[in-house]
């Protein structure tokens, strides 16, 4: 099945605007995706007709909103192929999901002298929460190295895992390089030693079918705003066996069973981890975004984006003084590069003048930039609506930038 890109573009209002006198070309999808009208309409419908606080209300609107919210949880359970809907926890995004696990899991399972393993290509969101947990629990952070192709050195993982390792946390797809990590092999290696694995799926969920049962990961997280849904909401999947044992992350309404000054008992899953009024409208928007992606067919999405990536790499390689970052065997969503004689920020700023949105900098992966010994990169990242004509325009614009600087 092939994506009908011309047709689907008509459903994204933000695409049809001029930026600095040019038609917008949006290659910043790894930062956030544009939203289809169908998602915007879902948000409007909620606020116009269903707006209500949920779970406790005795009235019509509250029941309606509660049913819609819990139904969205079931949609997401099916989308991820999770065993139970109570294994789906709504968070503010990937960052909060990882912080939740790092704080709560570590309180119960991580003790002085224990170790946590992350990789050298993690987003800061999958480093700093573990550093905080390590500081709190007097544990040590260990790092899976990355090679010059931008791939994890899996041979080193065997040496890193030992009887003190309590958690392995890795990205499914690198936001800086686009590398698709061999998470199946990492999970298998960790599970041989009964070590749980958290997968940061922020950059995978927009580009591929995620099956947490097939992966057998212990935790998986992603952000709504990177899968064409609204900002401010995300998903943590966790295996029931872990979530049941983990203490609450935040206290407040919803997460309690009974509150007394002599002591409080906590609600069952998933509510134990959803303190306070949930972000109902955005959860419903996320549900419609995932339905939208499913309707497009994730295989067709992956195929279209794969072709864009191959085309981009082939064309970029023809430019002078260009350094392509990494050449991983499997890549999704992202191509990173820099001109060796032009600062990435200058390239990005001039592209913006030409109506092209890209991201420049360290992409919240400073340790990786240090390893690669670059000040940052120019990152182009793809979404379902990107076209080969847009890539041609990008390449022409890069040629002009080169001329400007020589």
347 part of the interface to ligand PLP, by CB under 6 A: no
Q: Which residue has the tokens 């040019």?
A: 22
Q: How many CA atoms lie within 13 A of 298 on its CB side?
A: 17
120 part of the interface to ligand PLP, by CB under 6 A: no
Strands 322-324 and 334-339: antiparallel
Number of residues that bind ligand PLP (CB under 6 A): 12
User: Where in 215-244 is the site for ligand PLP (CB under 6 A)?
Assistant: 223
Nearer CB in complex with ligand PLP: 29/347: 29
Query: Residues 120, 121, 126, 132: is their CA dihedral positive or negative?
Result: positive
> Residue 122 CB, nearest distance to ligand PLP (Å)?
7
285 part of the interface to ligand PLP, by CB under 6 A: no
Alpha carbon 238 to chain centroid, angstroms: 16
390 part of the interface to ligand PLP, by CB under 6 A: no
Cα(150)–Cα(172) distance, rounded to whole angstroms?
A: 13
Nearer CB in complex with ligand PLP: 94/336: 94
Provide the 3-class DSSP secondary structure of residue 26: strand
123 part of the interface to ligand PLP, by CB under 6 A: yes
Candidates 91-99, 104-112, 259-267, 298-306; binding stretch for ligand PLP (CB under 6 A)? 91-99
203 part of the interface to ligand PLP, by CB under 6 A: yes
- In the shown chain, the binding pattern of residues 183 to 202 toward ligand PLP, with x for contact by CB under 6 A and - for none, equals -----------------x-x
Q: 364 catalytic, yes or no?
A: yes
94 part of the interface to ligand PLP, by CB under 6 A: yes
Strands 263-266 and 140-144: unpaired
Cα(350)–Cα(13) distance, rounded to whole angstroms?
A: 24
> Residue 95 CB, nearest distance to ligand PLP (Å)?
3
DSSP readout, 116-157? EEEETT--GGGTHHHHHHHHHHT-EEEEE-B-TTS-B-THHH
Q: Which residues bind ligand PLP (CB under 6 A)?
A: 93-95, 123, 125-126, 171, 175, 200, 202-203, 223
Residues serving a catalytic function are 364
């Amino acid at each position: 099945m092939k994506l009908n890109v011309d047709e689907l573009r008509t459903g994204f209002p933000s695409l049809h605007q001029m930026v600095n006198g040019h038609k917008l070309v949006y290659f910043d999808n790894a930062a956030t995706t544009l939203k289809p009208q169908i998602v915007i309409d879902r948000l409007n419908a909620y606020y116009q007709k269903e707006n209500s606080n949920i779970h406790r209300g005795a009235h019509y609107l509250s029941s309606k909103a509660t049913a819609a919210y819990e139904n969205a949880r079931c949609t997401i359970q099916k989308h991820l192929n999770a065993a139970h809907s109570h294994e789906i926890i709504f968070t503010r995004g990937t960052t909060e999901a990882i912080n939740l696990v790092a704080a709560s899991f570590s309180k119960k399972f991580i003790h002085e002298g224990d170790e946590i393993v992350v990789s050298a290509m993690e987003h800061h969101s999958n480093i700093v929460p573990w550093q905080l947990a390590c500081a709190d629990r007097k544990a040590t952070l260990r790092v899976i190295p990355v090679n010059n192709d931008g791939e994890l050195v899996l041979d080193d993982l065997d040496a890193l895992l030992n009887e003190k390792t309590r958690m392995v946390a890795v990205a499914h797809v690198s936001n800086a390089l686009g590398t698709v990590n061999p998470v199946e092999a990492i999970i298998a290696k960790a599970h041989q030693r009964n070590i749980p694995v958290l997968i940061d799926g922020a950059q995978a969920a927009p580009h591929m079918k995620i099956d947490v049962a097939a992966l057998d990961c212990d935790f998986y997280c992603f952000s709504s705003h990177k899968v064409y849904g609204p900002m401010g909401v995300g998903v943590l999947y966790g295996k029931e066996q872990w979530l049941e044992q983990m203490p609450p992350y935040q206290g407040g309404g919803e997460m309690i069973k009974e509150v007394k000054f002599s002591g409080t008992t906590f609600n069952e899953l998933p509510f134990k981890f959803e303190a306070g009024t949930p972000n109902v409208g955005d959860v419903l928007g996320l549900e419609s975004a995932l339905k939208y992606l499913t309707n497009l067919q994730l295989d067709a999405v992956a195929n279209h984006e794969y072709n864009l990536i191959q085309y981009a790499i082939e064309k970029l390689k023809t430019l002078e003084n260009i350094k392509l970052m990494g050449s991983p065997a499997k890549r999704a969503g992202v191509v990173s590069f820099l001109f060796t004689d032009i600062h990435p920020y200058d390239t990005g700023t001039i592209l913006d003048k030409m109506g092209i949105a890209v991201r420049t900098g360290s992409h919240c992966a400073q340790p990786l930039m240090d390893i690669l010994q670059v000040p940052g990169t120019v990152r182009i990242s793809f979404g379902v609506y990107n076209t080969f004509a847009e890539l041609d325009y990008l390449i022409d614009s890069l040629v002009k930038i080169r001329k400007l600087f020589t």
